[in-house]
Amino acid sequence: MAKPIVAIVGRPNVGKSTFFNKMAGRRVSIVNDMPGVTRDRIYVDVEWCGYNFTMVDTGGIELKSEDQMWRHIRRQAELAVDIADVILFFVDGKSGIMADDYDVAHMLRCTNKPVVLAVNKVDGKDDSVIHDFWALNLGEPMPISAEQSLGLGDLLDAVCSNFERNDADAEEETLKIAIVGKPNSGKSSLTNRLLGYERVIVSNIAGTTRDAIDTPFEYEGRKCVLIDTAGIRKKSKVEEDVEYYSVIRSISAIRRADIVLVVVDSMEMLSEQDIRICGLVHDAGKPSVLVMNKWDLIEKDTYTVNRFSEKLKTDLKFMTYLKTVFISALTGKRVNTVLDTAMQAYENASRRIPTGVLNDVIGDAIAVNEPPTHNGRRLKIFYSSQPSTNPPTFVIFVNDGKLMHFSYRRYIENSLRKAFDFSGTPIKIVVRSKDEDKQ
């Protein structure tokens, strides 16, 4: 299921970035660059005491400034708060409460979301300074020192106390299906068609706090949620900050989703923007379906589908696993194949291969194409396992991970795909050396 989102906010120079970088540099966390966004990395995936969540860093908030840069930063922070499940509010324990702290605290109270108050730069044992921060009316102030890594465990415990654990036995899994794409590609028409299809039971819930429309429904007895999103525009057609927020909104929907439908206007084939959106989905490790909409408007002959399919393989060569459907949301033609294909992609992403079978397949691949040598040393593959799914993740233990060339890694992936149906989903291969260091 999708990870909760924690937004880190506060006025400038309170140590938010120090904390964020501390989290990003720890072994429990992985920093991800957001594809296509020409900004600093702002997402970090964190694991703490069995909880997995995503932290979003923001710039310092200057609510009263009318400077264009500060307006941009403020909008970025507001968006982060908008998509967040929990808000981590940083203040400066050395400087004490400032007028801007009261203003930001008031803004956060209006969100009606859980807020954890972190009083940073409390380096000594005397934490009496934190008592003043009760005046912000945001609950118990928590003293920390991001620089010295003091109090971070208690702070993360407080953040995680706002999460709900998923009890697989008590709660039936609900599949989240995100629909993303450029404006005017037909996303809304497809959404209406899918929700109006005769096998679907619809219950509309609009206007959620994630700036998207989440609609619960049932498909062939399975509980699902359809996430409709705003289109991602070309930078040349909108202001840079608007494009930036659109990308973040789509990333948020993609990260929440279990399956992603990428809707493309067949009349335009694949634009750079479409390829960019596909890249977001691929990098997020989500099973996906490429929905070529407006297929009824294409002049066709016997070979049209084949020509389109070959062109897609060329333009999306980093997604050779992609499942594609050709539909018309306007007329309803072949729309009934969309959810069936999406479910197949999700099932493939959830596929788990028995360890013995996995090692047999990789062993056969090695016998056919022996690992190459480098500087007189040959790569040796000892053992493989699959620790997780969604996406299917395979760990390969070798003598020296540095000897695993990207081309041989790709060969192993292709061998796995030939042996098992992983169409519609990326797969992840992790190489570990004898000393278990990740490469």
Q: Which helix (H) or strand (E) is 425 found in, with range?
A: none
Mean pLDDT check: name the lowest of 28-32, 355-359, 429-433: 28-32
Give percent of the chain above pLDDT 90: 41
Among candidate residues 184, 303, 178, 273, the one with its CA nearest the CA of residue 229: 178
- Compute CA distances 86 → 207, 249, 384, whole Å: 19, 17, 38
Among candidate residues 162, 171, 142, the one with its CA nearest the CA of residue 154: 142
Residue ranges covered by each domain of the chain: 5-160, 175-349, 355-432
Mean pLDDT of 219-233: 79
Number of H helices, E strands in the chain: 11, 19
Mean pLDDT check: name the lowest of 143-157, 187-201, 332-346: 187-201
Mean pLDDT of 385-404: 92
Q: What is the CATH number of domain 5-160?
A: 3.40.50.300
Q: How far apart, in whole angstroms, are the C-alpha atoms of residue 298 and residue 190? A: 18
pLDDT digit string, tens, across residues 279-318: 989 998 999 999 999 999 998 888 888 888 888 989 999 9
Q: Please tell me the predicted confidence (pLDDT) of residue 303.
A: 86
Residue 86, classed as helix, strand or coil, is: strand
Give percent of the chain above pLDDT 70: 80
Mean pLDDT of 408-413: 94
Q: What is the pLDDT of the chain when averaged over all its residues? A: 81
Which residues, in sequence order, are CB contacts of 290 under 8 Å at separation 6+?
262, 264, 278, 312, 316, 322, 323, 324, 325
Q: Please tell me the predicted confidence (pLDDT) of residue 255.
A: 83
Q: Please tell me the predicted confidence (pLDDT) of residue 248.
A: 65
pLDDT at 45 over 80: no
Fold of 175-349: Rossmann fold (3.40.50)
Q: How far apart, in whole angstroms, are the C-alpha atoms of residue 362 and residue 348? A: 19
pLDDT at 151 over 60: yes
For domain 355-432, is the CATH number 3.40.640.10?
A: no
Q: 179 or 166: which carries more pLDDT confidence?
A: 179
pTM, full prediction:
0.65
Which amino acid type is present at position 129?
Answer: V
Q: How far apart, in whole angstroms, are the C-alpha atoms of residue 30 and residue 193? A: 38
